[in-house]
Structure 1
Amino acid sequence: MNELAINLMRLRKLNSLTQQDLADAAGISRVAYRNLEKGNANPRQGTLQALATALKVPAFDLLAPLPKLKSLRYRANKEMTEQERAKGNQVVVRAGNWLQDFNELESMLGTGKRAALPNIRKGTNPQNAAEKLRTALLGDGAKCDCVPDICELLENSGIKIFLFDFQMSELFGLSIGEADGGPAMAINTSQKISVERQIFSIAHELGHLILHKESYGKSPDELSDEQEREADTFAAAFLMPEKKFLAEWNENRGLHWVDAVLKTKRHFKVSYQAVLHQLVDLGKAESPAIYKQFRADYETRYGQKLHWKEEPPLNPAPRPRTAGVSPAPPPSRTEEPLHLDPLDLMEDRLGSLVRDALDKALITVSRAAEILDVGIEEMRARLNSWEIVS
């Protein structure tokens, strides 16, 4: 099957279109379209453009070869619909193209970085592996409680990070091994996924890169639940080392327990559910009762329902005072709000590479826009903004 046939099938499913729907939109018969999708015919230029318009992509995307990743690792939900699987495939295509662009820029500029990751013995306890990695990446900074800027930390260590909206909430992230120019990871920044969860996803994929090197290149259906649990444990230990977590939790022991959870979550830049999970792992709370209890007590305290997938909203207002009950103090508006902001999670290495390549006239403005996945006008606006401060 040729590239056109593969791309047509992938993009048609991504848009939930039948063969007849797409044939009608392109002004051709279903038989003619079916021959294109089977690779038995080639379209005229006008038909190719009509198909691209119907699929909302440039005509080039219909003919572009798909990236061939030998060391991809991502876990697909077995209950995904056909369209959700098509979206997952599209995420893989976009991540593969991004990684090719990233490596091409590094090669042009001679700025490639070899990943500074320690060699962790297979079978190492996830908590011990996380502690070794914190020490290796942070050095003296390993003594600090929280990871100050996880994107900057990993990018400086040679790990490439791609943050973008997957247009789906069933997949939080994926990672790619060194065989394809990694290590690299793509993280879902959908508005339905909190920044806290995105940070945890980065640490989770980092756990796979450290603990499960043998799993890269395997089919999503071959990956075990046990590895996912190990990656979660690694992520929690990397973001919230046990001793530091207990020290912070004990400092908050005089607060209402809901506020102690919220303060702890903000301190470590994690979700409230990650804090609850850590409390369960350390034997300080029962699971799954603790999750239900937190949501119930949060609603009682702040008068707002909290969906199990959501982070507490910005500066929740506690309920008014009632007889015999003291109201909880509202969070200070002079402090950081409870919810992390997208600015708390930004990668900037690719943008820096693009700027350097433009400064050296190694790429055109249109190519820069293509690499950064922005429109040409937005790219020009960014160029103008760079002139404001030298």
Structure 2
Amino acid sequence: MRVGTPGFVPARLTEARAARRIKTQKTLAEALGVVSSTVSRWEKGEITPDADALSALSDTLGVRREFFLRPVYQSARPMFHRQLSNTLTGDIRYQQSQTSWLQELSSILQHYVEFPAVDIPDVLGTASWKQLREEDIERIALELRRHWNVGEGPCGDIVPLLERVGIVVGTIEMGTSRLDGLCSWSPDGERPHILLATDKMSFPRRQMDGAHELAHAVLHRNVTAREFHENLKEIEKQAFRLASAFLMPSTTYPHEVRRPSLSTFLSLKERWRVSIKAQIHRLADLEIIPSDYVTDLYKLHSAKGWTREEPLDREWQVSEPRLIRDAFNLIINSGVRTKGDLLAVEFTMSPEDIERLACLPSGWFIEREGKLVQLKVPEVSHNERSWGAGTVVPFPQR
């Protein structure tokens, strides 16, 4: 009689299936050579896989066996993503699984490395996010800039700012342009984690995505999962308004718009590094331009073919997060652990998964960690170097 695996965590199987974009239990069952009801019962926790089945799961899903014996790294708070469309269910689950893995990496690394303290001011006090008015969000944007000493001009690169205030940032390729980023909290509820998509990425788009997820971390920490699903539209509207107000402060940016036109916005894009479309939306929010003119600007923007890519989008290099990557390098370079130790003891996902989430170079885990010794090369005299290093071979006579 086969005995199941004690301590098997069903949610980890569901997570791994989402991480590998295996949409159905039937598809996984076919890959394993078992009936689909078996996979279903594993995920429900009704039965657990035996040792052979656990090894097959490990091989098929590209994780270590111990992966299924550890708890899921996930907060009780919701993960904030932009859409709830049924057509994106698989993509959303993939994004959520990668965010959980980012939280797991972060949690383990913090056993060895001290991350920056979380510095997100309490801008709501005793108020609820539901009570926020547009003028409140504008005020909060300016308060955040003052608190983080950003000034009231262009923000600069948003990613280093996120990491400086204690937010863990990761990036992944989503395979769709319809999902941009996701904000979540660590299981202890203290540290925000942001996962940004890299698909068709430009610097202005990265700026808005990062600021949008930052807005969730500032405004929506206490939103429940039920509130999120019931109020997604309003929550997203608040996040976009705060992101726009943070990147284009009401006290400075509008005063630089001499005449609202696409050419003006293109000139301002070079300075403020936000998209032309976002600038139009910002001026509409501030009611600086009438709604009918906003519509005309959007139509002209689309007619120029700028919906997919605007001028200057390729002008600036998109930076990568450094916090997780630097933590790995610090641990290895200081000799606290070896790469092999980390893979064998600490982490249960594949090296490729870790390298991707941590923005480490591909193959980083198989690179040598440094040469402690090397072959001694005997010194050679000048004459030997000049004349004794080769043999003269005559050409054959014809």
TM value normalised by structure 2: 0.73
Return the structure number with greater relative CO, CA threshold 8 A, min gap 6: 2
Gaps of 5+ in 1: 299-304, 314-336, 386-390
1:379 aligns with 2:385: no
Aligned partners of 2:196 and 2:210 also within 8 Å: no
The equivalent of 1:290 in structure 2 is: 297
Give the C-alpha shift of residue 126 in structure 1: 0.8
Distance 1:97 1:181, change over 3 A: farther
The equivalent of 1:131 in structure 2 is: 142
The equivalent of 1:359 in structure 2 is: 333
Write the deviation string for residues 213-262 of structure 1: whole angstroms up to 9, x where unpaired: 32155564133422221211111111111242224322xx5xx9333222
Distance 1:180 1:90, change over 3 A: farther
Write the deviation string for residues 99-143 of structure 1: whole angstroms up to 9, x where unpaired: 23324323423x2432223321333711110001001102xx504
- Which residue identity lines up with residue 84 of structure 2 in the other structure? K
Distance 1:35 1:176, change over 3 A: closer
* Residues in 2 aligned to 1:263 and 1:344: alpha-carbon distance in whole angstroms: 20
The equivalent of 2:172 in structure 1 is: 164
Aligned partners of 2:202 and 2:318 also within 8 Å: no
Q: Percent identity?
A: 23
Aligned partners of 1:26 and 1:51 also within 8 Å: yes
Give the C-alpha shift of residue 151 in structure 1: 1.6
The equivalent of 1:142 in structure 2 is: 151
* Residues in 2 aligned to 1:184 and 1:97: alpha-carbon distance in whole angstroms: 14
The secondary structure found in structure 1 opposite 2:118 is coil
Gaps of 5+ in 2: 1-5, 344-350, 372-398
Residues 112-261 of structure 1: pairs in structure 2 closer than 5 A: 112-121=115-124, 122=127, 123=132, 125-138=136-149, 141-143=150-152, 145-177=153-185, 180=188, 182-215=190-223, 218=226, 220-250=228-258, 253=259, 257-261=261-265
The secondary structure found in structure 1 opposite 2:76 is coil
- Which residue identity lines up with residue 103 of structure 2 in the other structure? L
Aligned partners of 1:87 and 1:166 also within 8 Å: yes
Distance 1:375 1:105, change over 3 A: same
Write the deviation string for residues 274-314 of structure 1: whole angstroms up to 9, x where unpaired: 11111222322534332112222x3xxxxxx33x3x2225x
Aligned partners of 2:216 and 2:239 also within 8 Å: yes
Distance 1:292 1:162, change over 3 A: same
* Residues in 2 aligned to 1:235 and 1:211: alpha-carbon distance in whole angstroms: 11
The equivalent of 1:68 in structure 2 is: 74
The equivalent of 1:321 in structure 2 is: none
TM value normalised by structure 1: 0.74
More helix by share: 1
Match of 1:269 among 265, 270, 273: 273
- Which residue identity lines up with residue 126 of structure 1 in the other structure? I
* Residues in 2 aligned to 1:113 and 1:36: alpha-carbon distance in whole angstroms: 39
Match of 1:312 among 295, 310, 313: 310
1:95 aligns with 2:99: yes
Aligned partners of 2:142 and 2:246 also within 8 Å: yes
Distance 1:257 1:189, change over 3 A: same
The secondary structure found in structure 2 opposite 1:279 is helix
- Which residue identity lines up with residue 108 of structure 1 in the other structure? Y
Give the C-alpha shift of residue 39 in structure 1: 3.0
- Which residue identity lines up with residue 339 of structure 1 in the other structure? R
1:24 aligns with 2:30: yes
| Number of aligned residue pairs | 342
* Bigger radius of gyration: 2
Give the C-alpha shift of residue 180 in structure 1: 2.8
- Which residue identity lines up with residue 102 of structure 1 in the other structure? S
Distance 1:376 1:187, change over 3 A: closer
* Residues in 2 aligned to 1:340 and 1:376: alpha-carbon distance in whole angstroms: 26
1:339 aligns with 2:345: no
The secondary structure found in structure 2 opposite 1:163 is strand
